[in-house]
A and B are shown apart, each in its own frame.
Chain A
Amino acid sequence: MDMTRRAALLTSAAIASSVAFPMRTFAQQTPRKGGVFTVHYGAEQRQLNPSLQASTGVYIIGGKIQEQLVDLDAAGNPVGVLATSWEATPDGKTITFKLRDGVKWHDGKPFTSADVQFTAMEMWKKILNYGTTLQLFLTAVDTPDPLTAVFRYERPMPLGLLLRALPDLGYVSPRHLYEGKGDIRQNPVNLAPIGTGPFKFVAYERGQHVIADRNADYWRPNAPYLDRIVWRVVTDRAAAAAQMEAGQIHYSPFSGLTISDSARLSKDPRFIVSTKGNEGNARTNTVEFNFRRKELADIRVRRAIAHALDIPFFIENFLGDFAKPGTGPVPSVSTDFYPADNGPQYPFDKKLAAKLLDEAGFKAGAGGTRFSLRLLPAPWGEDITLFATFIQQSLADVGIKVEVVRTDGGGFLKQVYDDHAFDLATGWHQYRNDPAVSTTVWYRSGQPKGAPWTNQWDWTNPAMDKIIDDAATEVDVAKRKALYGDFVRLANTEIPIWTPIEQIFLTAISAKARNHSNTPRWGSSSWHDLWLAE
């Protein structure tokens, strides 16, 4: 077919260019000042302040304007941003940060330890999602001098955990614009943020764009290179791909394009499509079970459902090269915590699935149907929609009738995590470098009703709760890793939620961009060294 020949030509062109590119990029490495970088902004959030909301949709903008105490370097190790050094007492209850001198907020006021104290106590501990769990035992932040912040904990806080959490959960906000100004969540500064970062907020037009300009007083010498960043709000994925091809958008982060458009752009030498720079944002697709349904409370039924899904087939045919089978709640990119033994796995076996369902007492009735389930797919990803359809199709083969219920984002969070009006749900679990930051809340009992992405399954397991609590306060690195091994094996044995697919977000970026994708959470990082070639 003509199509195949054309595809072959494009592929060879792509290979030729990828051979040519490295030489060009390394030969001409003098960063060029200036230029406007345009970014695809797919899902508007209600605010832009990353001290208040941990999500990639906020970091993509707020992460350029505000900065955190610590970020990750190219190798994924903590590197100081607003903090220059840190140390913990042996009992793990006191952690001291030395702060960077001479840093100024965009409005000219100096950045001091008082800002850190206020942000930690009023925002991270009280409002920030994941932060409220992480900082649960934070009792006070002392400020002996303007450049020292001493975090005091009631129970030991492993330094490694805090340093891995802070790149996402450690953004600092200016105290003088929040203190005594009423409800922090409603503060207008949240929509016109003031930070210490390389770019200054200029304008936010709802549904249109966000603009930020170069901060001439930035503390890093000779940075940033870009004059301006423009985030264009484009909700239609196909339209965003078209704008990239027309040269109107340079960068589409976090799998913002459709799978087929990503595959197409990856063959175009004007773009680079890759998972690089997103290693810190690994995610797994979930199958979440509601234990209020007696069928799903039976472990044999949950295992039968897992055995009924041909995950390698789904990945090969629907997701392509950008996904792989998941082995448990901790994804394989997590070198610090990925266990050697993940415990039981559930390979595709339709006969075994049927046998398990028979044993559980759910025999096929009229028309071969055993029982019916309502499945709610989260609406924020093409892969989730496809996976929901695949679950529906696969479970029909073993006699479970699945009704897919479509909702919008707010409706999904409310119905699943607040009203518990679901039987099965499927979405993403986003792993954030340490299981205690992002993952154990999915398994620990006693989560407040309505908290999204937490254990709302009506599943309680005392052994699980103990492992999670022990690991969160274990200061010995090796022992913590061993405890999370136990956590993964127990999670895979009981499967209150199942995490069968592991994915890393895809980035599509113009080949003109330089110094991009050079850290594990590059899309969220400050872009102080990003520049655009001619």
Chain B
Amino acid sequence: MSFLKLYFRSPPAIIGLVLLILVLAMAATADWFYPRDPLALAGRPLIWPFSNPRFLLGTDNSGRDIAAQIFHGARISLLIGLVATVISVFIGITIGALAGYYGEWVDTALMRVTEAFQTLPNFILLLVLVAVFGSTITTVTVAIGIVSWPASARLTRAEFLSLRNREFVQAGRTLGLRDAKLIFGEILPNALPPVIVYASVVMAIAILLESALAFLKLSDPNVASWGNLIGAGRDVLRVQWYVSAIPGVAILVTVLAVSLVGQGLNDALNPRLKGR
């Protein structure tokens, strides 16, 4: 209860939550408002928004309904964001926990690997992965997850380093708990809050990475993603700028919402900010 109270004290957090619920609602109602395939030919290409009541947001250069693509695209973007985040955080936590808990050579080895990944610009690495494994929505999502884990690994490691010698851990060790039980049962729950907050950043980055790929026309062309719509609109940017601008706004809103919610969670969960 006090957590919710803390959360709702901050106006940006409330705005973020409202926007996020809006995007979720779009994803949930996409089939209801736009039951047809969003990639189907809907009408004449390049109809301006608000000029034809059948196509509220107009049509793109392939004659597809932009509004339908925005609604269905919300699903894809959220799906990519969530799945890629889960993959990235899972890898990050596992590596960070092992490195932080065992220390010594395990830590050294795992952190060198992490640094190796960090020195590569993640977008370049993503391009390589997509070029090698093809650009279906599954490979794109997994690839985004794989390129964005190092930061959460380092964060988890830092938490583990500070927690592993606390009294409750030593008590557990004295009681003869196995390492796995100690890591995942005792330390991890206490190390999780900052990682969860960071996950919101990863999710925002994942959505942006997919859009960037699609802008270069390297994402899966068989799904209605916002990034694909921006990529298609690039060809008509000078005159029919709305084809790129509308999904751009959708991405902006979603990324903003996720970031604001993350910030709100951070403020609510951070004990040092309590009582301010």
Contacts and interface: CB of A to CB of B under 8 A. Distances in A.
A389 B41 CA distance: 9
Contact of A403 (B45, B222, B239): B222
Given A238-B234, A394-B41, A404 B222 contact: yes
Contacts of B48: 1, 3
A264 interface: yes
A242 B48 CA distance: 23
B62 A396 contact: no
Nearest to B44: A317
Interface residues of B, number: 25
A490 B234 CA distance: 41
A260 B240 contact: yes
B39 A392 contact: yes
Nearest to A241: B238
Interface in A368-393: 382, 386, 389-390, 392-393
B235 A382 contact: yes
A93 B269 CA distance: 90
A382 B46 CA distance: 15
A260 B236 contact: yes
B174 interface: no
Contacts of B135: 406
B63 interface: yes
Given A1-B51, A396-B37, A396-B40, A260 B239 contact: yes
B246 interface: no
Interface string A309-327: 0000000011000000000
Interface in A306-357: 317-318
B62 A386 contact: yes
Nearest to A316: B44
Contacts of B235: 237-238, 258-260, 382
A200 B134 CA distance: 44
B19 interface: no
A238 B238 contact: yes
Nearest to B60: A389
| Main DSSP-derived SS at the B contact region | loop
Contacts of B68: none
B61 interface: yes
Contacts of A389: 39, 62, 221
Contacts of A404: 221-222
Contact of B45 (A241, A264, A318, A392): A318
B217 to A, nearest CB: 6
A270 to B, nearest CB: 16
Contact of A261 (B39, B51, B222, B238): B238
Given A318-B45, A386-B62, A396-B40, A238 B237 contact: yes
B218 interface: yes
B238 A386 contact: no
A392 B237 CA distance: 24
A449 B267 CA distance: 64
Interface string A232-271: 0000011001100000000000000011110010000000
Contact of A406 (B37, B46, B217): B217
Interface in B148-180: none
A238 B233 CA distance: 11
B211 to A, nearest CB: 16
B234 A386 contact: no
A242 B238 CA distance: 9
B218 A393 contact: no
A238 B240 CA distance: 12
Interface string B228-271: 00000011111110000000000000000000000000000000
Contacts of A238: 234-235, 237-238
Contacts of B40: 393, 396-397
B239 A264 contact: yes
Interface in B47-76: 48, 51, 61-63
Contacts of B62: 318, 386, 389-390, 393
A317 B51 CA distance: 17
Interface string A1-17: 10100000000000000
A394 B63 CA distance: 12
A315 to B, nearest CB: 12
Interface of A: 1, 3, 237-238, 241-242, 258-261, 264, 317-318, 382, 386, 389-390, 392-394, 396-397, 403-406
Interface of B: 37, 39-41, 44-46, 48, 51, 61-63, 134-135, 217-218, 221-222, 234-240
Given A260-B235, A382-B235, A405-B134, 9 more contacts: A1-B48, A238-B235, A238-B238, A261-B238, A386-B62, A393-B40, A393-B62, A393-B63, A406-B221
6 contacts: A1-B51, A3-B48, A259-B235, A392-B39, A396-B40, A406-B217
